[in-house]
Structure 1
Amino acid sequence: MNWIGETFTSDVGWGHLKRLVDIGNRMAGSPGEHEALTATRDALDTLGARNAHVEDFGIQGWIRGSSRIETADGVVDCIALPRSPAGTVEAPLVDCGDGLPDDFADADLEGAVALVSAGVPDYYDRFIHRREKYYRAVEAGAVGFVFRNHASGCLAPTGSVGTDADPLGPVPAVGVSREVGARLARRHAGDTVTVGVDCETPRAESGVVRADIGPDTDRAIYLTSHVDAHDIAEGAVDNAAGTATVVEIARTLLDRDAALDRRVRIVCFGAEEVGLQGSKREADLIDPDDIQAVVNCDGVCRGRTLQYYTHGFDALTAAVERVADRFDHPASVRPTQHPHSDHWPFVARGVPAVLVSSDDGDRGRGWGHTRADTLDKLERRTLREGAILLTALVDDLASTDRMPRRDPDDIAADLDAQDLAAGMRATGDWPFSTE
C-alpha cells in the first residue's frame, strides 16, 4: 500500500497540470494544442510508458477575431462562440429565457436574434447543452444567437457550435456575461440589435496521444482525457486537470509493486471542445471488442467527491462502489447517459465507459468555459485524492473478467427514456439507426 502515500506526496500530476496551463491557448488545431499533446507524450515517455506517440489528424480550424453586439445604447462586451461563422446580422432581439424546448416553441424567432441563458432551472429534469439551444433557435428561424452566462461574475461563456456534417454553425453566435445578458433582456428585448463575428476558418491539425502500460494483452482498459481547451483561458479544470490526473495515474500504476492483470492504453484526445473529434475518430479506428472498459477523466478536480456516469453498465457501477467502499470515500454514482465528453463515442458502440468528473453541487460548468478557468481554482490534494481512487478503479477493472457490453439499441432507448434523444437529434449527434 506504499503507492497510496507516494501518490499523496507526488508532484508529477500537479507539475504536468502547471505545464499545460502555462501554454496558454490550447484551442483545437492551434500551436498550443500541439504543444500540449507533445508535452503529454513526453511526460508519459519519461514515466516509462511504452510507445508514447502523437498521431495527427485534420480538423476544421477556427481562429478568433473580433465580435460585437451593438444596441441603441452602444456596443456591449461579448465573445464569439468557436465555430461560429463570420458575419453580421441586424435583427430584433428575442429573450428565450432558459432555452428550454418550450421556450423556443413559444417565441417568435423568425428573422430574430435569440438571447438564451446557459443555465437550466432546478425544476427541469435534465441538463440542456449549449449546442441544443443553438440549433433549436436556428430551427425556429433565428439569424443570430446570444448565449448569456447563468453564473455571476461578469464572465462571458464560450463553447463551440457546429456539427460533424457542417463544422461551422449556420448563424453568428456570441457569449455574454450574466450581467450583460440581464441588461440586454431588460432594455433591448424587442429592439433591433447588430451581432457581428469576425474569424478565420482554415483547415488545421489536431492529434491524439497514445501510450501503453502493463502486460501486452489483447483487450485493454482505456484511460482517457482531452488535452485541448478554449482559447480564452488556461483551461485548468477543463481539462488540464483531467490530463494531469491521467499522467499521475500512469505514474502510480508504473511505480507500485502490484502488477496489472491487463494492458492499460492511455489516450489523450485533441479536439474534444469542438465536437469530440479526437474520440470519435479513435472509436471508429478501434475494434470495440479490444476494449475492456473506458475511464474518461473530464472535470475531475472541481471538487473532492468524484462523480461517475456509468451509462447503465452495472459492472461499472459495481466497480466504482467497490472502490468507494474500500477507501471509505464518498462517490456520486449516476447510472444515466451523458453524451457530452470523450467516453461517449465508445458508449454509443456498447462499450462499457465511465465519465469521471466532480460533484461540487453545481449543475452548471462552474468556472469552466470562461476566462476564470485558471489554476488558482484547484488544489493539489484534490488531484492526488482523485488519482488514488482512479488508480484503484483502473486496477479493479483490469482484474475483472470481460465486461458485459450493451446493445446500442438499448443505449438509444435509455436516451429516449431520459429525454436526451430529441436534443441529440436537434444537434445532429444521434449516432443510432433507430428513430
Structure 2
Amino acid sequence: MFDLDRTYVRELTADDDGSEATVAGHVHELRDLGGILFVVVRDRTGRLQVVVKEDETPDVFARAEDLASEDVVRVRGTLSATDQAPGGVELAPADLTVVSEARAAPSIEVSKDVEADLSTRLDARHLDVRKPETRAAFSLRSKAMRAMREWFYDHEFEEVDTPELSTAGAEGGADLFPVVYYDREAYLSQSPQLYKQILVASGFDRLFEVGHAFRAEDFGTSRHVSEIAMFDVELGYVEDHHDVMDVQEASLRHAIGHVTEQATRELDVLDADPALPEEPFPRLTFEEAREILREEFDHVPEDDTDLDTKGERLLGEHFADRGHPAVFVVGYPDEKFYYRQNVPGDDVASRKFDLLYRGQELSSGGQREHDVDRLRESMRAQGVAPENFEFYLEAFEYGVPPHGGYGLGIDRFVQQLAGLDNVKEAILFPRDPDRLEP
C-alpha cells in the first residue's frame, strides 16, 4: 500500500520541533560515537539526521548498528530543532525498519564528495543518480519542463505526438539511423519538423511536442549526444520570424523564472545561478554577429554560413558582459528548404534564427516557407528530391497559413541552468557513438 504517512525531508523544518514524523529513504551516511549513532537518511528531496541513543531506545540502537550505506529504511520518531543538523532539524527515532538491505558496497562514492570521471559515473548511473548533486539536476529538469509546459497550456497551445519512425529525414541529409521496419527500411526521426508543419496546415495553429530526435553523427564534444530531448513548437498566422522569437523568449523567461523561484534547493545543491534575463533578448543579424567576432575577438569562423562553437561562446561572453545571458542571431544564409529565405525587401538572408543562452546554441527556428511552389524549388536547389517528400508537400496543396516555430534542446537548456560541464550530465541515460547502455 502507498505510504500515505510518509513525510518528505524537504517538508521538515525547525518549526516542527516536538512533532512526530515518518521518513523513508536510503542510508546516506553513518557515524558511530559509541552509544550514539548518527544515521543520515536521504530521500529525493534532501537529507535528515537521525540520532539514535543506546540508553534511550536500545532496540532501535541494535538495529541501527547493523545498518550499511544505501540500505533502505523507514524511520518514525520525534523532531527536534538544532543548528547542528542539515536543514536545522533532526529526528529521535521511536522505530526503525529496514525495508531493503544493500547487498554490496557502492562501486562509486555516494555520500562523499569524491570525484569520478564521467564515463565511470555513466557506467554506474544507477548509483550516480543517488548522489545529491546529480539528483538535483534532474529535479531541476523536471521543474523547468513543468513550467515550460504550463506556459504553453496557459497560452492555448495543444500538445501533440508525432512519429519517431519515418521514411525520410526532415533535414534531407545522410545523418540518419536506419532501422528495419517489417520488410523495409525506415529511419529514426531527426526532427518532428515536417509533421509539425503538416499539422499547422491542417489547422493545429498552436502546438508543441516534447519528444526525442536522433542524429547519427560521429562527434566527440561535451555539447552533443546521439539521442536528443527536444521541446518543439509551431504556430500559425505569424507575421514573420519575430512572432516566433516572441513566443520563444516569453516561454523561456517563464521557465527560468520558475526555476529561480521554485528550485532554490536544487540550485543551492548545484551551486548554480540560472541567470534570469532582466531585459528583452537582443536580436542581431548573422552579419552583425560575425562582425562582433571579427572586431572584438579577431575570430573568423571557417564556414561563412555559420558561427561555430567558439564563436557562439565568444558571443555569449560579449553579451554576458552587457547583462544579456540570452541573445537571438537572425538571418543565417543557405538554410534548409523549409525556412522562408531570400524574401524581397528583407535585410537578412533567411528568416531563420538561433537562440544562444550563456554562449551555447539552445534552439533553432524561424518562419517557414508556406508556398508549395517555392518549397519545391528550394528542395530541388538543395538537392532534395521532392518526390521523396510527397506526404509532406501534399499538405501544402490545400491552403496553409504563414507559420513558424522552433526546436529547443532540453538537455542543453538543463545543462546551462544547472551549470554542468557536459550535456550528458543533464541526461539520465545518454546515448553517444560509444554508449548504448545502461
Is the pair's TM-score, using the shorter chain for normalization, greater than 0.5? no
Larger relative CO (CA 8 A, sep 6+): 1 or 2?
1
